[in-house]
Amino acid sequence: MFDILNVSLNALIGFGVVTVFGALVLFWCFLKIIKLAFCSSKNNESDKGSPINQAHSTAGGYAEDGEVVAVIAAAVAAMFETPTQGLRIRSIRRVGNNSPAWSTAGREKLLS
């Protein structure tokens, strides 16, 4: 009697695990299809942007120097340890100074 219950309990647990992982695989496939459908058009449009060494205006209302863009691209490339040829700087925004005084002082101490 207990052997039959033990076998049926193991089968029930196994069926539950297979069902859960099967649902996860189906959900993963659904997300991949959605990503391919909606994100591929955005990637094609964003690759048509301007090259790094052309200055452009941003929402802040100022135009970047080619030097500033080159320095930021070099810093990003150094941080990620990748060549600068694959990088594309789309916009540069100045971060607002909404930080508390202690945060600003700590940042300046670290950067100096």
pLDDT at residue 30, as a whole number: 96
Residue 40, amino acid: S
- Within 47-99, residue ranges assigned H as helices are 66-80
Q: Could you tell me which residue, 89 or 42, shows the higher pLDDT?
A: 89
Model-level pTM greater than 0.85? no
Of 41, 21, 19, 40, nearest in space to 29 by CA: 21
Range 66-70 average pLDDT: 83
pLDDT value at 54 more than 60 = no
DSSP-based three-state secondary structure for 107: helix
Instruction: Quote the distance between the C-alpha of residue 17 and its chain's center.
Output: 31
Kindly provide the residue ranges of all beta strands, DSSP E only, lying in the chain, ordered along the sequence: none
pLDDT at residue 72, as a whole number: 86
DSSP-based three-state secondary structure for 63: strand
